Amino acid sequence: MEKGYFITGTDTNVGKTWATIALMRYFKSLGKSVAGMKPVASGCIMQDGQLKNADALLIQENASLQIDYDLINPYAYELPVSPHIAGVNNPVELDQLIARFELLKTLADIVVVEGAGGWYTPLNEQEANSELAIALALPVIMVVAIRLGCINHARLTYQAIKQSDVDCAGWIAVCTDPDLLSRDETINTMKAKLDAPLLGVLPYKELADFDFFSEQLNI
């Protein structure tokens, strides 16, 4: 494998999956083979006798090759709550996630791993997304939803990433609020405050246009 990335967000519902798919298509456009992974997902629905997550299915669909769902989303929980609560009867084991990631690394040039929720979202009673990112030894890309309060959330999340002693490759701005005032000024403020490159701005769209989004990225 040439490289992979761990995708984290400043909160839940900030556009991590849209950014993940955009990244996958970006690297595919460069001629790379790409796989994706959503190791832990809550709010899954029963499909073909198996709990599956809509975001994980989208990641599976956008891979360069056919990959079994279990490899992409090893822990799929029905309740739409934090994984350490949803998985009380089947808690996340980091060793299992690492093993599946190592297998994905043998299948593609680049593996994009989407974390669950934010940097400190608990995966089980002891470990959070931060421990998973450290264990996978991947550079981190932070996804920021451009909305009121995002400057504070972005700076706090970036500080936490740096304190975890992992490499932050940069951040992606996802414009989630079409009515936000001073959007460009908000993004420019974060560019000045964050010691990490802005990798792209995904404009507001009601429906995802992943090819268009991928064209907005520069990694």
**The CATH number of the domain where 210 resides is what?**
3.40.50.300
Per-residue pLDDT tens for 139-191? 999 999 999 999 999 999 999 999 999 999 999 999 999 999 999 999 999 99
Q: What is the pLDDT of residue 74?
A: 97
Q: Give me 109's structure tokens.
A: 């040039």
Strands 45-47 and 50-52: antiparallel
The mean pLDDT value of the chain amounts to 96
Instruction: Judge whether 53 lies within some domain.
Output: no
Per-residue pLDDT tens for 76-110? 999 999 999 999 999 999 999 999 999 999 999 99
How many domains is the chain partitioned into structurally?
1
Q: What is the mean pLDDT of residues 121-128?
A: 96
Report the alpha-carbon distance of residue 193 to residue 69 in Å, rounded.
39
Strands 75-76 and 40-41: parallel
Per-residue pLDDT tens for 186-211? 999 999 999 999 999 999 999 999 99
Q: What is the pLDDT of residue 2?
A: 61
Instruction: Judge whether 89 lies within some domain.
Output: no
Instruction: Judge whether 66 lies within some domain.
Output: no
- Provide the percentage of residues in the chain whose pLDDT is more than 90: 96
Report the alpha-carbon distance of residue 67 to residue 117 in Å, rounded.
24
Instruction: Judge whether 199 lies within some domain.
Output: yes
Report the alpha-carbon distance of residue 142 to residue 196 in Å, rounded.
10
Instruction: Judge whether 46 lies within some domain.
Output: no
Q: Give me 130's structure tokens.
A: 């931060």
Report the alpha-carbon distance of residue 32 to residue 26 in Å, rounded.
9
Catalytic one among 16, 28, 38, 52?
38
* Confidence check: pLDDT of 1 > 60: no
The three-class DSSP label of residue 125 is coil
Instruction: Judge whether 52 lies within some domain.
Output: no
Q: What is the pLDDT of residue 61?
A: 98
Q: What is the mean pLDDT of residues 44-71?
A: 96
- Does 38 qualify as catalytic in the annotation? yes
Could you tell me the residue range of the domain that residue 126 belongs to?
3-37+94-215
Instruction: Judge whether 64 lies within some domain.
Output: no
Report the alpha-carbon distance of residue 210 to residue 121 in Å, rounded.
26
Instruction: Judge whether 22 lies within some domain.
Output: yes
Q: What is the pLDDT of residue 12?
A: 87
Q: What is the pLDDT of residue 3?
A: 87
